[in-house]
Amino acid sequence: MKANRIRVLQISPSLGLGGTEKVMQSFAVNLDKKQFHTAVYSSSDGPRGKLLRKQGIPTFIGPDLFSILTKFRPHVAHIHRAGWTEPGSLRPFKLARTTVLVETNVFGHHDPSPEADLIDRHLFVSHFCAKRFEKVNSIPAVKPKFSVLYNPVDTDLFRDNCPADRKFPQSSFGRISRADKGKWSNLALDFLPILKTLVEKKELPPFNYQIIGGIPEAKQFVADNNLQKYVNFLSPVLTDNEIAEFLNSISFLVHANDTGESFGLVIAEAMAAGLPVITHPSRDLRDNAQLELVDHGETGLIASNADEYAQAVNFLLSNPQEARRMGEKGRTKAAELFRAQDIAAKLGCIYLELLKTKNII
């Protein structure tokens, strides 16, 4: 082991555009290459597969995980999944006698199946997820079985591409998500007619709402309310450079998602770019980590209904210096907590800790 690098296999359900896949990609790229030889497995290829290969990360694509495990022989297998029971999905690791199995538990669910005993460490992506897991399951979310590891964000890239002294576009704000109804809330739209009325009364300058990930219902809402001159629907983006370019075209991010966020990668990236974020609380036991990221009045604003959303948007549009102050506090928080290289280093330490407990190193 001293002469050879530790083999790590990152395992993702797909290589598509989602945040789960992006986190996996970041780990694969940022783990210490002197210490770890990292590869990626997925049953289906996608746009992130091309990016991974371009970055020199081997990818294994196909339906037979067991054959990949026996071929690559990872010391550590790291699965990225929702956390609930997926019958039969962990059996290949048992058959292949995988040494260490780590799970990034994306949504903080509990897998009570016997197969789950194979997992050496469950990683929650926020303290909210860990606390909810404890509350719902009456299981302490503590070591050696559980720990919290924030999702990684390339804060260095956003720092360099979205400098603090850049000129923010006036009266422009935006949202970004996948074009998936599950990523939306009526709050993302219901504040617009209120703002339109303020513009018509000349109490607010004309605004521009830039949307990546527009769904048919959102486009219909804009048409039905004659908001076309205020709203632009943009094409999807893939790379962080493209995301940075989009974030440079707006002065703050509006976030609204009825299911909430178990972490909130888009929010963290906007913070890393120096933008304040408007978000909302989730009800009951829904994902609510967006409130772990956004501190009201400090790194953004929390709004609970359409009127509060409109007030928050109006405030940031009308107070650009205060918006910039919040954005820079968010940038500092993101760099301290989510920097990809630091998160990957913490993950590497977790791998080493688990390998040592099994006398592998």
Question: CATH 3.40.50.2000: does it fit domain 155-338?
Answer: yes
Rounded CA-CA distance 58/223 in Å is 46
- Buried b / exposed e along 121-157 (16+ C-beta atoms within 10 A): bbbbbbebbbbbbeeeeeeebeeeebbebbbbbbbeb
- Tokens encoding 306: 């359409």
36-42/59-61 β-pairing: parallel
Smallest CA-to-CA distance from 134 within 123, 142, 126 is with 142
**In whole angstroms, what is the distance from residue 311 CA to residue 320 CA?**
14
- Res 2: pLDDT: 45
pLDDT along the chain (361 residues), means of 10: 81 93 97 97 95 96 97 98 95 97 97 96 98 97 97 98 93 95 94 97 96 97 97 95 97 96 97 98 94 98 97 97 97 98 98 95 82
- The CA distance from 135 to 90, in Å, is 26
Which residue, chain included where needed, has tokens 């860990």?
A: 130
How confident is the model at residue 1, as a pLDDT? 47
Given the structure tokens 């497995």, which residue do they identify?
Answer: 41
Distance CA 151, CA 125 (A): 6
CB 171 within 8 A of CB 250: no
The pair phi, psi for residue 66, each rounded to 5°, is -55, -45
Locate 229 and state its tokens: 């001159």
Q: Please tell me whether residue 300 adopts helix, strand or coil conformation.
A: strand
* Segments of 12-66 assigned E as strands: 36-42, 59-61
Q: CA-based Rg of the chain, rounded to a whole angstrom?
A: 21
Sequence ranges of the domains in the chain: 6-152+339-357, 155-338
Q: What is the pTM assigned to this prediction?
A: 0.95
* pLDDT given at position 3: 53
CATH architecture under which domain 6-152+339-357 falls: 3-Layer(aba) Sandwich (3.40)
